[in-house]
Amino acid sequence: MAGSLPGSGNRGRSSRWAKAPMAEINVTPFVDVMLVLLVIFMITAPLLTVGVPIDLPKTQAKPLQGQDEPLAVTIDKDGEIWLQETKVDAATLVPRLNAIIGNKPDTRIFVRGDKTVSYGQVLEVMGILNTAGFSRVGLVTERPSTPK
């Protein structure tokens, strides 16, 4: 004697196929992760700039285009020389640059000079860099603010 269990037989098959698979994607965890990453990048992005505060002169020159990240040599208002965020003197500037750059003398180096520093002092640093064989040396300025 065969008996049938509830939910078996033809009724069981038809009810099994009646349920369609769920084809929706739950994007809530994705949005949560993206918002956390956005907040992290918003907080850390300002910290990635060179941290020596100087008052750059303003010019109308267009920015230079390039793919590699340049090194920054900064001359602050007191005439002190900084390589990225490390204070150096003129005698140790080239050895430190060579240690950082290695065998890439065509690396771009940006010289940032405070507008109160004498022109001769900025040119002295640029001359040290040029004499050491660094040919891609540029000056950094700020664009003047446009009146509204």
Radius of gyration (Cα) for the chain, nearest Å?
A: 31
> With 0-12 CB in 10 A as exposed, 13-18 as middle and 19+ as buried, what is 109?
buried
Confidence band of 55 (pLDDT split at 50, 70, 90) = low
End-to-end Cα separation, the chain, in angstroms: 94
- In the chain, how many domains are there? 1
Give a yes or no: residue 2 inside a domain: no
More confident of the two residues 143 and 3: 143
CATH number at residue 121: 3.30.420.270
Q: At what angle do helices 90-101 and 119-131 cross, to 10 degrees?
A: 50
* Spatial CA neighbour of 70 closest among 101, 103, 115, 114: 101
Give a yes or no: residue 5 inside a domain: no
What pLDDT is recorded for position 36?
93
Q: Summarize pLDDT for 8-47 with one digit per residue, the tens.
A: 555 545 555 667 777 788 888 889 999 999 998 888 776 6
Question: Above 70 in pLDDT, residue 5?
Answer: no
**CA 26 – CA 32 distance, rounded (Å):** 11
Give a yes or no: residue 23 inside a domain: no
**Lowest-confidence region among 9-13, 41-45, 60-64, 66-70:** 9-13
Confidence band of 51 (pLDDT split at 50, 70, 90) = low
Torsion (CA) 111, 112, 114, 115 in degrees, nearest 10: 80
Question: Above 70 in pLDDT, residue 54?
Answer: no
Q: 77 is in which domain, residue-wise?
A: 51-139
Confidence band of 65 (pLDDT split at 50, 70, 90) = low
Give a yes or no: residue 104 inside a domain: yes
